[in-house]
Amino acid sequence: MRLPLLALLSRGPAHGYELKQDLEQLLGSAYPQPNVGQIYVTLGRLEKSGLIEGEEVAQSSRPNKKIYRLTDAGTEALRAWFEDTADEPRVRDDFFMKLALAPRTGLADQIALINKQRREYLNTMRNLSKLSATEDRDNRIAHLLIEGAMLHLQADLDWLERCQEELEGLE
């Protein structure tokens, strides 16, 4: 979450709670609760590494708040972030290892594992569909996020189908 926070700060100085609200607004209900504690911890680390600078601002009725702004080093880090491509998605390796090792242990049936995993994915898919129906229509970023999650899940389900086709023939 370091770089997203830097990116939010590139528009201008802000304090931790504002950043939490920014994230909420940007990502919509698919990212329900940005953890404010995590945001403060991350801001502390960013400050320590010189990517942002904090300034205490006195408030009359409440404790001081700290306003952060991006440093030149921070802008550089952001540029490098945009320059870099992201890692490709991976196969869910925990499930895959279960599937691969089940026959050796005699403790689980491969087809039963696939069916169980499929139910899990389908339920998540259903939740995403509901989320998509309730999310603000104008929040394109939030809709793209949900759609991305659904397409990944679709690929996982297609792959489970392939596993089932292959492994059922062996029984």
* Residue ranges binding other proteins (CB under 8 A): 1-2, 4, 27, 30-34, 42, 111, 115-116, 118-133, 145-147, 149-150, 153-154, 157-158, 161, 164-165, 168
CB of 135 to other proteins, least distance (A): 11
Please give the single-letter amino acid code of residue 42.
T
Q: Are 160 and 114 in contact (CB under 8 A)?
A: yes
Nearer to other proteins, 62 or 165 (CB): 165
- Distance, CA of 16 to CA of 67 (rounded, Å): 8
CB of 104 to other proteins, least distance (A): 23
Q: Write the CA distances from 86 to 42, 58, 82, integer angstroms.
A: 21, 40, 9
CB of 170 to other proteins, least distance (A): 13
CB of 65 to other proteins, least distance (A): 22
CB of 115 to other proteins, least distance (A): 4
Nearer to other proteins, 64 or 123 (CB): 123
b/e per residue 91-114 (b: at least 16 CB within 10 A):
eeeebeebbeebeeeeeeebeebb
Tokens standing for residue 44: 């502390």
Nearer to other proteins, 64 or 129 (CB): 129
Q: Write the CA distances from 14 to 35, 98, 162, integer angstroms.
A: 17, 46, 49
Q: Are 114 and 96 in contact (CB under 8 A)?
A: no
CB contact set of 2 (below 8 Å; sequence gap of 6+) = 42, 45, 46, 51
Nearer to other proteins, 2 or 66 (CB): 2
Nearer to other proteins, 45 or 79 (CB): 45
